[in-house]
Amino acid sequence: MLYNRTPITSGDSFVRVSKPQVGDIVAMNTNHGTTHWAIAKKINSNGTVTLIEQNWKWTQSSATQCVVNRTVRSSSVRFFRLKSEANTTTVSLTVED
């Protein structure tokens, strides 16, 4: 439904950003022609981002694998940030462990 598209909410919108921050929405393409969504938990100095996500698993050597705090390359995903029409500024979120 939102494959390669910017999500839009009533009165507010998500804008694509090139410099990720904690709390940004992360979008990544899957091998199944869909988009997987996550939240940026931590922006790492090595060019990766640690994610908060669910419903992400895969099979490897006949076993189901899943990861908590998965890390991906920032260059392999897209980042979006909420822009509030009422405030006209982007909204930052704080993510606590």
pLDDT digits (tens, 9 = 90+) for 63-77: 777 777 889 999 999
Residues in a beta bridge with 72: 49
Q: Domains of the chain (ranges plus CATH)?
A: 12-84 (2.30.30.140)
pTM of the model: 0.69
The DSSP code for 74 is: G
pLDDT digits (tens, 9 = 90+) for 26-50: 999 887 788 888 999 999 999 999 9
Token code pair at residue 3: 């494959």
Own/partner pairs for 86-92, CB < 8 Å, 24+ apart?
86/11, 86/12, 90/15, 90/17, 92/21, 92/22, 92/23
Mean pLDDT of the chain: 80
Q: How far apart are CA 47 and CA 12, in angstroms?
A: 29
